[in-house]
Amino acid sequence: MENAWEHLPSWLLTRTAGHAHRLVGDGFSAVNARGYHYRLLATLSEFGPASQAALGRRSGIHLSDMVAAVNELAEDNLVERTPDPADRRRNVISLTAAGRRQLRRLEKRLAQVQDELLAPLTPVERRRLTALLSRLLAHHDERLSAPDGEQT
């Protein structure tokens, strides 16, 4: 016998998000990476070299987590830190050739994970689900970012 709450969208989203998180984590750990690594490498690839603060804003990674993630990537020569010519107190983070190769591996792994997560859905259903989730997220992000708690 099923409980009524097991059909609530919030419950279904939470459970599905848990599966997605586990699948992505397992997929990345199989290639010695973490989600933060992918997000940083992808952000650098898309926007180019940036300060840690700019990377944090663009990737959605909190500054306290950013330092550790950049350190890990730098230790593996996937990113490079250089002093910012405009402000020597700040470092600019750049993607290395090894970092580009790792990003391609992670993108391939992530595509496999997406296929596994969405296996029961047709391509049309996958696009529709993505569109609906994007719409929900945009709505709630907009509400959270409204000044003085105004509802938009």
pLDDT digits (tens, 9 = 90+) for 107-126: 999 999 999 999 999 999 99
Residue 18 has what pLDDT? 96
Which sign does the torsion angle of CA 134, 139, 144, 147 carry? positive
Give the pLDDT score at 69: 94
Q: Which helix (H) or strand (E) holds 13?
A: helix 9-29
Beta bridge partners of 87: 84
Distance of CA 53 to the CA centre of its chain: 16
Check: CB of residue 38 under 8 Å from CB of residue 132. Answer: no
pLDDT at 3: 86
Contact indicator for 31, 109 with CB cutoff of 8 Å: yes
Give the pLDDT of the chain (152 residues) as one tens digit per residue: 678 888 899 999 999 999 999 999 999 999 889 999 999 999 999 999 999 889 999 999 998 899 999 999 999 999 999 988 888 888 899 999 999 999 999 999 999 999 999 999 999 999 999 999 999 999 998 877 766 555 44
pLDDT at 146: 67
The phi and psi torsions of 150 (rounded to 5 degrees) equal -60, 140
Task: Name the residue with tokens 């983070």.
Answer: 93
Which pLDDT score is estimated for 152? 42
Helix axes 35-47, 9-29, angle to 10 degrees: 80
**Which pLDDT does position 102 carry in this prediction?**
96
d(CA 90, CA 23): 36
What does pTM read for this prediction? 0.83
Geometric angle at alpha carbon 67, from 97 and 45, rounded to 5°? 30
